[in-house]
Chains A and B, each alone.
Chain A
């Protein structure tokens, strides 16, 4: 009975490299959300996806960031040409439907940019 699985748990990148964060939702959940937590702050919404579709990306930076949730496989949050300001904890959450009442969070990926 696995919950939301995120990997890697910790990711270290040098400035200019790419970061790929993976999220496997709860089995049967077709809705995935990505949130970012900067140090000493609360979580900020980034993007909401359903299978093969981006529903809401209003919280995602316009450049360097992209997300996908393919028909098969995990959801991927991709950050190109990382900068130090991208250092944060990235959390994925999934739900069975289009609401936040039954949201399950993963343990997060801590991205550190050197």
Chain B
């Protein structure tokens, strides 16, 4: 069985500061990895995904993530956050089954 752990339930940060949202997963097989963002009262939007190839993945809104197989991590980063980045962020894995397994989410709170 696979699992996803997002170590921080909330991350407060000031506007224009860098941010890292951590994600670790456990799986016995190769996985595909995803980051989704959920704005208040909305569904999930795909930020970025890792399927294969380069371990550094760039997504929308200036976000990027790095796949680290040895540490089974897929941390999300942004060098300078905006107020509009305030949202819930979910890491998810897919081991080529029928479903995505999601982490518990990290609430990013950007303060002016």
Contact = CB atoms under 8 A, between A and B. Distances in A.
A105 B43 contact: yes
B99 A105 contact: no
B45 interface: yes
A59 B99 CA distance: 9
Sorting the interface of chain B by its residue count into under 10, 10 to 19, 20 to 34 or 35 or more gives 20 to 34
A59 B100 CA distance: 11
Contacts of A108: 42-43
Sorting the interface of chain A by its residue count into under 10, 10 to 19, 20 to 34 or 35 or more gives 20 to 34
Interface string A77-94: 000000000000001010
Nearest to B49: A101
Nearest to B46: A103
A63 interface: no
Nearest to A6: B43
A100 interface: yes
A25 interface: no
A41 B45 contact: no
